[in-house]
Structure 1
Amino acid sequence: MKITSIITILILSIGAIQGIVYGIILFKSTKYNKIANKILAAILFLLSYRLIIQIMRLFGLGYYDSWYYIMIDLSWIHGALIYYYTKAQTQPNLNFNFKRKDFIHLLPLIFQIAISVFVRVQNLYWDGTKESLSWLGYYSYIIWMNNSTIYIIASFLITLYSYKSLKLLNSIDNRYEISKEKLTWIKRILVAFLIYFTLVLVVFLFDLIIFKSSNAGSYFYFTRFYYYPFFIGIAIITYWIGIEGFSRRNEPELMLKNTINKDEMLRLKVISEKLIDIMEIKELYKNQELSLEILSKEINVKPYLISKCLSEIFNKRFNDFVNQYRVKQVQLLLKDQENSKYTLLSLALDAGFNSKSSFNRAIKKHLGISPSELKFTK
């Protein structure tokens, strides 16, 4: 076996195993996003299954057997599953359910199964000659089996539904709240599918038109230069979305925003001014033991109102609100040449952080850099 084949098998195997493992975890996930996690698990299972079929072919197994045909029959469902996944993530409080109009997205799958069965039936009549089949049976077989038709349509559907899903994600009603982090990582998945399969679609179409026309109709897509790189790309995507889905599986669902009247908003703004004053003037953030309860006593405001103020006015949680001041303080301390003799950790503790790990997390979250890079940003 060639070294390139061994490397390809290794990459495809890692992607397939990763997809199966994370798919099982997501399918069993019960805390949040139950339906969305199960749909993502289905996507991972199908992608892993496709990779396994290709690994088998590299070992000389599974040429046009039942496992191969089942994979063919299911290849047009990926686009619909991507759309269902996005829809499940953008429905408030687990209210997602399949409506009658949603099943229209499964029509390509039904159409594909019908064609695939029809093409396979032609094997019962095929004797090696064109005349043994009807014109419909012959040309269906040629187009379906000897051309990249299945992949072209599958790539088109994934591209189409990735675009539709992005539009759906961008059209979330402002009555609902969804974290920016959640929006960002779902968009990353959709954009990855959109870009990759648009590229795949262009390559398949260009190669089919140019290469086939220049070779008098003799064309087999599975012998072309892009065939295995295409599956390596799928392995990488499977590996990546498995990690994304696993790490974000317990993020809260979409929630209805609480409507706040004008008087209550004014009250929250007054609290916000108190919070800014006590942080900037009294520098309460330097207290390493600072908690919501301590802050509540300092400004004489109930803890739940502080939390509500932080959420509605600052769009932050308590720790993020306090740590932003601590991070700025560390940056100020670094600008002072007198502090060059102190370690970064000692400056962090002076700014109010109570441990190295909390300091590291805050720097990464607020500045997007590692603590070791902090001195170079001053």
Structure 2
Amino acid sequence: MEIGTILIILLLAVGALQGIVYGFILFKSTTYNKLANRLLATILFLLSYRLIIQIMRLFGIGYYDSWYYVMIDLSSIHGALLYFYTKAQIQPRLKFKPKDWLHFIPVVIQISFSIFVRLQNLYWDGTKESLSWLGYYGYIVWMNNPTIYIIASTLIIIYAYKSNKLLNSIGDNFEITAKKLTWIKRIIRSFLVYFSIVLVVLLADLVLYKAANNESYFYFIRFYYYPFFIGIAVLTYWICLEGFSRRNDPEISTKNIINADELSRLKVISEKLRQAMEEDKIYKDQELSVHSLAQKLDIKPYLISRSLSEIDNKRFNDYVNAYRVKEVQSLLEDATNSKYTLLSLAMDAGFNSKSSFNRAIKKQLGISPSELKIKK
């Protein structure tokens, strides 16, 4: 085996090993950004798998076997995974919705067409006429040209652009309070730059070579074939270091930026809510809800919720229950109420069940109801 080949094997092996090791670490990391770490781990596993297949080819094994075709068929998934990795980083509670799966349609199309092309081997007898028009030219375009890699690179570029746009949009609508997004942008930019270079080389070589030579074009003997995978190895190694060093970073928290007029409006609503609670003791209404309160104060329900969230940093139930708990504490301090049960006092304060009262006491004070009566 030539020294150059050995060097290529070593470079690909280092990238593949690094991707597998750090991929497992990221996949098991559950402290923060669980989904994001697992998506990045999946990207690293797939990149490492591609490198391993190329190492096998250098040893003369794995030519056009099932392992090789799986690697080919999954090449269109990297872009979508990169996009959802970005979304998971900025949306820690991200959950896949039915429409999100549309991003993986290119993978389904690629797998379907690859299976169709490979099935042509069942009908091939050495002549063009033994195959259908689609079967023959599909085989030539799909197997002898870098078509799959052109499509995969294009998808990665598109999704890297979408990811970068997603990150930039945060600055327009949100105030980052937990950490900066610089290192995530570096990962996105690395994919964008590298696969833009790959796409330009693939297209330029394909067009120029065929224009200058009236002969069959075969992608797997082109001069950039292994340099392309060495670049993937370097990219994998670098992403491993970035992802590993940031795997336990606190999740990004975002807060809506409110203009001065809206902030003033929400503060007025907050004051009206305070008066309704402290002066009118409206919290004693056991059937009180956002809608019933909105009706009494002639304020739209969503504005009440927004005011509570932005000004008081509370949800409606927690806000109301805080007043009810204080009322129970006040009633317990009055000796004349000693003849009443704790539950009856809770009902008088506005709670409508024992369970809701118990939950509120635990959440507001961190103690049990029985402890509350002892501390009176």
Q: If the length of structure 1 is used for normalisation, what is the TM-score?
A: 0.66
Residues 78-125 of structure 1 show CA distances to partners (whole Å, capped at 9, x for unaligned) of: 00000000000111xx32011222111101101101100100111111
Aligned residues of 1:176 and 1:254 also touching (Cα < 8 A): no
Return the alpha-carbon distance in structure 2 between the equivalents of residues 259 and 103 of structure 1: 31
Residues 229-250 of structure 1 show CA distances to partners (whole Å, capped at 9, x for unaligned) of: 0000000000110111011001
Return the alpha-carbon distance in structure 1 between the equivalents of residues 10 and 93 of structure 2: 41
Return the alpha-carbon distance in structure 2 between the equivalents of residues 160 and 247 of structure 1: 27
Q: Structure 2 counterpart of 1:128, which letter? A: G
Aligned residues of 1:76 and 1:154 also touching (Cα < 8 A): yes
Aligned residues of 1:9 and 1:55 also touching (Cα < 8 A): yes
Q: Structure 2 counterpart of 1:155, which letter? A: S
Unaligned residue ranges in structure 1 (runs of 5+):
263-378
Aligned residues of 2:179 and 2:252 also touching (Cα < 8 A): no
- Give the superposition deviation at 1:171: 0.7
Match in the other structure for 1:21: 21
Return the alpha-carbon distance in structure 2 between the equivalents of residues 42 and 52 of structure 1: 15
Most deviating of 17-26 and 247-256: 247-256
The 1:96/1:176 distance shift into structure 2, 3 A limit, reads farther
Match in the other structure for 1:226: 224
Q: How does 1:144-293 map to 2 (within 5 A)?
A: 144-172=142-170, 174-179=173-178, 181=180, 183-257=181-255
Aligned residues of 1:178 and 1:253 also touching (Cα < 8 A): no
Match in the other structure for 1:60: 60
Task: Describe the SS at the equivalent of 1:171.
Answer: helix
Say whether 1:140 aligns with 2:138.
Answer: yes
Residues 40-70 of structure 1 show CA distances to partners (whole Å, capped at 9, x for unaligned) of: 0000000000000000000000000000011
Q: Structure 2 counterpart of 1:212, which letter? A: K
Unaligned residue ranges in structure 2 (runs of 5+):
265-376
Aligned residues of 1:29 and 1:37 also touching (Cα < 8 A): yes
Say whether 1:128 aligns with 2:126.
Answer: yes
Aligned residues of 2:20 and 2:48 also touching (Cα < 8 A): yes
Return the alpha-carbon distance in structure 1 between the equivalents of residues 195 and 178 of structure 2: 28
Q: Which has the larger radius of gyration?
A: 2
- Give the superposition deviation at 1:204: 0.1
Aligned residues of 1:31 and 1:250 also touching (Cα < 8 A): yes
Q: Structure 2 counterpart of 1:136, which letter? A: L
Say whether 1:42 aligns with 2:42.
Answer: yes
The 1:178/1:89 distance shift into structure 2, 3 A limit, reads farther
Q: How does 1:30-109 map to 2 (within 5 A)?
A: 30-91=30-91, 94-109=92-107
- Give the superposition deviation at 1:131: 1.3
Task: Describe the SS at the equivalent of 2:76.
Answer: coil
Return the alpha-carbon distance in structure 1 between the equivalents of residues 202 and 249 of structure 2: 38
- Give the superposition deviation at 1:258: 8.8
Q: Tell me the C-alpha RMSD between the 2 structures.
A: 1.6
Return the alpha-carbon distance in structure 1 between the equivalents of residues 246 and 131 of structure 2: 52
Identity over aligned residues, as a percent? Answer: 70
Q: If the length of structure 2 is used for normalisation, what is the TM-score?
A: 0.67
Q: Structure 2 counterpart of 1:213, which letter? A: A
Return the alpha-carbon distance in structure 2 between the equivalents of residues 20 and 105 of structure 1: 25
Aligned residues: 259
Q: Structure 2 counterpart of 1:50, which letter? A: R
Return the alpha-carbon distance in structure 2 between the equivalents of residues 79 and 143 of structure 1: 22
Residues 239-283 of structure 1 show CA distances to partners (whole Å, capped at 9, x for unaligned) of: 110111011001111213398989xxxxxxxxxxxxxxxxxxxxx
Task: Describe the SS at the equivalent of 1:76.
Answer: helix
Aligned residues of 1:15 and 1:238 also touching (Cα < 8 A): yes
Return the alpha-carbon distance in structure 1 between the equivalents of residues 175 and 116 of structure 2: 47
Residues 277-315 of structure 1 show CA distances to partners (whole Å, capped at 9, x for unaligned) of: xxxxxxxxxxxxxxxxxxxxxxxxxxxxxxxxxxxxxxx
Q: Structure 2 counterpart of 1:20, which letter? A: I
